[in-house]
Structure 1
Amino acid sequence: MDSAVVLGSWAVLPPPLVAAGYRVVAFDAPAHGAAAGRRSSLPEMLEVTQDIAARLGPLAGVVAHSNGAAAVIAALAGGMQADRVALLAPMPDLESFILRLAATLGFSAKVAKRAQKRVEARYGVPFSALKAQNLTGSLSQPVLILQDSKDRTVPLAEVEELARNWPTADLQISTGLGHNRLLRDAASIDRVVAHMGDPTQR
């Protein structure tokens, strides 16, 4: 049976994928959901994603949300094998997100840059190396990207840029679901399952 990895313990997504014929492996990123830890980072998410993919072998598909989607893109660029990919509200540019978050919390761009440098020094990975828009040019698997126009966490323009730089991307835009309700929206889940397709037909 083909394996589909779901980055995040979404109660509504595994059952329809199992019904479609997939063996589903769902996991929480560090400090997310039931996973241990009080903080997490994109480099840590990337490491965990790569480790699980290596244990399972070539994957029939991968589904991820937000920072998890960014980790999946970096893992694919690093050689992770997956036939199909579905990304919900992906976060393509961590540096841009840090700047927005700092502004929301009332901190200056200078403070945001210091925080960025601390994270980069801790993990030995510059944010520029994880910018999704720079990693997708050589990826060939079909990818579905679901993004909401009212997402206040990730600007639509960033996701549109990501899709333009990903030759096999199919960007579908909703309105009114925001950043997280995509995960519970029946129509969005149906799109993901349809995109993954029938594993017996490959």
Structure 2
Amino acid sequence: MTAHHANVAPSSALDSACRAFSVPQRIQASSLERSVLSQGQHGTHPYVDGDIAHWTFGLGPRVLLVHGWDSRGSHLAAFVEPLLRAGFSVTLLDLPAHGDSAGHLSSPVHAGRALASLAQALGPIHGVVAHSLGSAASLWAFAHGLEVNASVHLCGPSSLSPMLQLQALGHGLSPDEQTAFVTWVENHIGIPVAEMDLVALKHGLRHAGLIMHDPADRVVPFAASADLQRQWSDAKLIELEGLGHRRILTDPQVITRSCALLSGVRRQEATA
């Protein structure tokens, strides 16, 4: 994990930043989440970075639920029953190195590639509901061939460059260390950071979207969602007060609005 750069002696701060970017905490499902998962059809998707665990509920057009960093698919379990009632099938997945999926390293690009691979294996995807890292992964997947009719983005980073700047500041990196950090990240994700910025990804936003974010979110700045809405003509942005970064996943209003978008687009598709 040690980050070396030609002009920078390795530092604990730089190593810490690299680790924070690439090694998620593996969170165990709660007993309540396990009981929800036990009602779904469990599967594993063979994938180059290690098998991806997923669970599918119900029948109908498929909606994928995509979790954030240091999280797992079952953290979006509150969406399952309302989406089933709305006539959808629902698939939760654990991204690489998260939950019950294999692997030790991850990133928005690792997550995006895994999401695209699973979606291709599962067949047509009506919509995606994605939180935080899952939103960034979805933007990558949309720009690289994943087609959906609608997607919902909750507190998601829309460009990688500003998130790396925030992470560098949070770890107290010097200017030279910041340069080394970006170089290390590019080696880790296998592409230039600019290819994970909105300018390079926005061509994938060809469907209806709903963006929801608390302006007081301390994990992902609200500006990321404002930028996303500006670049996405068919998306609506809703400011949500008092939900922070994670409470948004269980808020009844958020779930209702998400279901309404996915159902409304489905009705339009049916009459088109």
Q: What is the TM-score when the length of structure 2 is the normalising length? A: 0.69
Distance (whole Å) between structure 2 residues aligned to residue 43 and residue 200 of structure 1: 29
Q: For 1:120-147, what per-residue CA distance to the aligned partner results, in whole angstroms no more than 9, with x for missing partners?
A: 1233211111113442246321000011
Q: Aligned to 1:13, what secondary structure does the other structure show? A: helix
Which residue does the alignment assign to 2:241?
A: 175
Alignment of 1:115-134 (within 5 A): 115-134=181-200
Distance (whole Å) between structure 1 residues aligned to residue 266 and residue 157 of structure 2: 32
Task: Tell me if the contact between 1:143 and 1:169 (Cα under 8 Å) persists in the aligned partners.
Answer: yes
Seen in structure 2, the aligned counterparts of structure 1 residues 199 and 161 have a Cα distance that, compared at 3 Å, is: closer
Task: Tell me if the contact between 2:143 and 2:203 (Cα under 8 Å) persists in the aligned partners.
Answer: no
Task: Tell me if the contact between 1:60 and 1:199 (Cα under 8 Å) persists in the aligned partners.
Answer: no
Tell whether 2:131 aligns with 1:65. Answer: yes
Alignment of 1:37-116 (within 5 A): 37-116=103-182
Distance (whole Å) between structure 1 residues aligned to residue 223 and residue 189 of structure 2: 28
Seen in structure 2, the aligned counterparts of structure 1 residues 36 and 138 have a Cα distance that, compared at 3 Å, is: closer
> Which deviates more from structure 2 when the two are superposed, residues 156-165 or residues 133-142?
133-142
Tell whether 2:71 aligns with 1:5. Answer: no
Q: Aligned to 2:127, what secondary structure does the other structure show? A: strand
Task: Tell me if the contact between 2:144 and 2:204 (Cα under 8 Å) persists in the aligned partners.
Answer: no
Distance (whole Å) between structure 2 residues aligned to residue 44 and residue 186 of structure 1: 31
Tell me the matched-pair count.
202
Distance (whole Å) between structure 1 residues aligned to residue 179 and residue 250 of structure 2: 34
Q: What is the TM-score when the length of structure 1 is the normalising length? A: 0.91
Distance (whole Å) between structure 2 residues aligned to residue 160 and residue 108 of structure 1: 29
Is the radius of gyration larger for structure 1 or structure 2? 2
Seen in structure 2, the aligned counterparts of structure 1 residues 191 and 110 have a Cα distance that, compared at 3 Å, is: farther
Structure 1: runs of 5+ lacking an equivalent: none
Question: How far 1:190 sits from its partner (Å)?
Answer: 1.2
What is the one-letter code of the residue matched to 1:78? H
What is the one-letter code of the residue matched to 2:61? D
Q: Aligned to 1:85, what secondary structure does the other structure show? A: strand
Seen in structure 2, the aligned counterparts of structure 1 residues 53 and 122 have a Cα distance that, compared at 3 Å, is: same
Distance (whole Å) between structure 1 residues aligned to residue 210 and residue 94 of structure 2: 21
Which residue does the alignment assign to 1:24?
A: 90
Which residue does the alignment assign to 1:144?
A: 210
> Which deviates more from structure 2 when the two are superposed, residues 136-145 or residues 85-94?
136-145
Picking from 235, 253, 260, the partner of 1:194 is 260
What is the one-letter code of the residue matched to 2:230? R
Which residue does the alignment assign to 1:157?
A: 223
Structure 2: runs of 5+ lacking an equivalent: 1-59, 68-72
Two-structure CA RMSD over aligned residues (Å):
1.8
Distance (whole Å) between structure 1 residues aligned to residue 107 and residue 181 of structure 2: 12
Question: How far 1:198 sits from its partner (Å)?
Answer: 6.0
Q: Aligned to 1:159, what secondary structure does the other structure show? A: helix
Task: Tell me if the contact between 1:50 and 1:80 (Cα under 8 Å) persists in the aligned partners.
Answer: yes
Seen in structure 2, the aligned counterparts of structure 1 residues 96 and 184 have a Cα distance that, compared at 3 Å, is: same
Task: Tell me if the contact between 2:215 and 2:240 (Cα under 8 Å) persists in the aligned partners.
Answer: yes
Larger relative contact order (C-alpha < 8 A, sep ≥ 6)? 1
Aligned-pair identity in percent equals 32
Question: How far 1:30 sits from its partner (Å)?
Answer: 1.6
Task: Tell me if the contact between 1:28 and 1:34 (Cα under 8 Å) persists in the aligned partners.
Answer: yes
